[in-house]
Structure 1
Amino acid sequence: MSGRIPSPFYIQNSGDNTLVGDILFPFAYDELLCRKVGEGAVPFVHIWRHEKAIVLGLRDRRLPHADRAIEWLKMQGYQVGVRNSGGAAVSLDPGIVNISIVMPNPDGRLEFKEDFELMYALIRESLDKLGMEAFKGEVAGSYCPGEYDVSVNGRKLCGISQRRQTKAFIVNAFVAAEGHAFRRGELIRSFYEVATGGDPELDAPRVDPATMTTLNEAGGRGATVRTFMRALAVTLSEWGGTIGRHPDKPSMAELEQMTAALRNRYDNASPAES
């Protein structure tokens, strides 16, 4: 991988409006198009936002009191879902820009770091257009921590995860552009306090809200959801992408069926609560 997406590819920017309803809907969309890309359809990049949701990782769902924590989130009006990629819990709202890169993998290779590098290159080049310098490396105390955390001024604003199929893969990223990073961190920390029952021995992130930031906080008023999405579009166009909806987009019936399948497969992955 040379840090580029094979051309031609489509840039589908759904981020001008925030999604409402089932948070697994955009994941189902990407999952279905990933299958089609694996069958020979052209790659694509999906940019989207959601109004109010918490997306969990599989290990979060397996915490002993996860059901109780999920109900607590739902009572506060959050959509909750378990994604089919790696990583841990993240908070989504209109200030978070989500990015999915969907690419073929005809040889079934397992060099996942190259795919993470691709997403990092996209974000780094886009932030450079806003006069901001991005770094990668785990930010201790952040939520959804990982080797490919993206940070500015030492604080995290982006996490990256991946979903692999037999002949294609999806690299996902959330980028905190605006909003209240500290409040998001407090919310995720509280989720883990409930989901673990306060047991410090369990395998759950130890979240320090002060480790998180947003583009707006780090770069001033010039860095917003809109300016970041424009920078993304420019970078992707420079890479050879074409703005527009993918011609092989799934039908509504396919989307509803896949959304239900994802929820059944991943939301029921936890052991019974003690």
Structure 2
Amino acid sequence: MRVVRGRGDDIEADRSVTQRLLAWAGTAGEPAVRVWRPHRQVAFGPRDANSDGYEQARQAAADQGYAVSERQVGGRAVAYTGDTIAFARIEPTDDGRQGIEERYAAVRVDIRDALRELGVDADRGEPDETFCPGSYSLQAPGGKLVGIAQRVTGDAVLVAGLIVVDGHDEIADVLDPVYDALSISFDPDTVGSIERGGGKVDPVAIIMRVEDALVGDHLGTVEWVDDLATVEWTGE
């Protein structure tokens, strides 16, 4: 298993790391894991981009000092403060249409168990009117703190998501006008976090624990984003 740490110099460079891993995993036939802290941004989903209030939502995010990006996986808009953690597990597949539910469930259990070891009593589900509603979320006392999505390409599958570490109030504040512009019901008090759920806020320790959970019993070869420029991406 290929394990990549760190983030790219900017939002686009950072996103390209995961995209290249997805392409690589399919041709190399080897899984990959990445757990990191993306740049400060509001990332909009495809449905957002086709909404009548999209330009107003983008402006609302920018007015609060957030960069704006669009992602290919996931549902509605999510916010990264710079300390929010993202995770991705990528697996090669012969038929990505098979096993979708099982992959969702496996990653959700892995993240749940990691959070419980970090002192957060997380469980499946989410409050009503929360951010980026989905069927594979995790919540804890205080609200939703994990969202999970899945993307299938021809020969690889990406199961990815985010974990709110702290800054839940900041995320609620930026998403409130964004969701209002998109005409989506949103209750700011539903945004949870590791901090709000009673866990210790130690981003490095959290990243390492989540990474361990996603790697599981695989033997991982660790690389850093800064070193990938010198690495040959087999099959790309």
Q: Under TM normalisation by the shorter chain, which class is it?
A: 0.7 to 0.9
Post-superposition shift, 1:79? 1.6
- Match for residue 194 of structure 1? 181
**Which of 194, 209, 212 is matched with 2:191 structurally?**
212
Tell whether the 8 Å contact from 1:104 to 1:168 is kept in structure 2 after alignment: yes
**Which of 21, 28, 32 is matched with 1:33 structurally?**
21
Tell whether the 8 Å contact from 2:144 to 2:190 is kept in structure 1 after alignment: yes
Tell whether the 8 Å contact from 1:32 to 1:250 is kept in structure 2 after alignment: no
Tell whether the 8 Å contact from 1:216 to 1:223 is kept in structure 2 after alignment: yes
Tell whether the 8 Å contact from 1:105 to 1:167 is kept in structure 2 after alignment: yes
Runs of 4+, deviation exceeding 3 Å: 19-22, 249-252
Tell whether the 8 Å contact from 1:139 to 1:149 is kept in structure 2 after alignment: no
Post-superposition shift, 1:128? 2.5
Q: Which runs of 5+ in 1 are unaligned?
A: 1-8, 197-204, 253-274
Distance in 1, Cα, partners of 2:100 & 2:126: 17
Change (3 A) 1:237 1:112: closer
Change (3 A) 1:113 1:25: farther
Post-superposition shift, 1:236? 4.2
Post-superposition shift, 1:43? 1.0
Give the secondary structure class of the aligned counterpart of 1:55: strand
- Match for residue 268 of structure 1? none
Post-superposition shift, 1:47? 1.2
**Which of 81, 91, 115 is matched with 2:103 structurally?**
115
Worse-matched range after superposition: 50-59 or 237-246: 237-246
Q: Which runs of 5+ in 2 are unaligned?
A: 231-236
- Match for residue 271 of structure 1? none
Q: How many pairs were matched up?
A: 232
Give the secondary structure class of the aligned counterpart of 2:118: coil
Q: Give CA deviations for 1:157-212 in whole Å, capped at 9, x if unaligned.
A: 01011111011011111001122x1331231120122344xxxxxxxx31111111
Supply the RMSD in Å over aligned alpha carbons. Answer: 2.7
- Match for residue 5 of structure 2? 13
**Which of 169, 172, 187 is matched with 1:182 structurally?**
169
Distance in 1, Cα, partners of 2:212 & 2:149: 23
Distance in 1, Cα, partners of 2:13 & 2:98: 27
Worse-matched range after superposition: 93-102 or 126-135: 126-135
Post-superposition shift, 1:246? 8.0
Q: Give CA deviations for 1:199-236 in whole Å, capped at 9, x if unaligned.
A: xxxxxx3111111111012124x243222113223334
- Bigger CA radius of gyration: 1
Post-superposition shift, 1:154? 6.0
Give the secondary structure class of the aligned counterpart of 2:134: coil
Post-superposition shift, 1:31? 1.7
- Match for residue 150 of structure 1? 138
Q: What TM-score do you get using the length of structure 2 for normalisation?
A: 0.86
Distance in 1, Cα, partners of 2:181 & 2:212: 42
Worse-matched range after superposition: 205-214 or 96-105: 205-214
Tell whether the 8 Å contact from 2:60 to 2:177 is kept in structure 1 after alignment: no
Distance in 2, Cα, partners of 1:155 & 1:68: 27
Distance in 2, Cα, partners of 1:58 & 1:178: 26
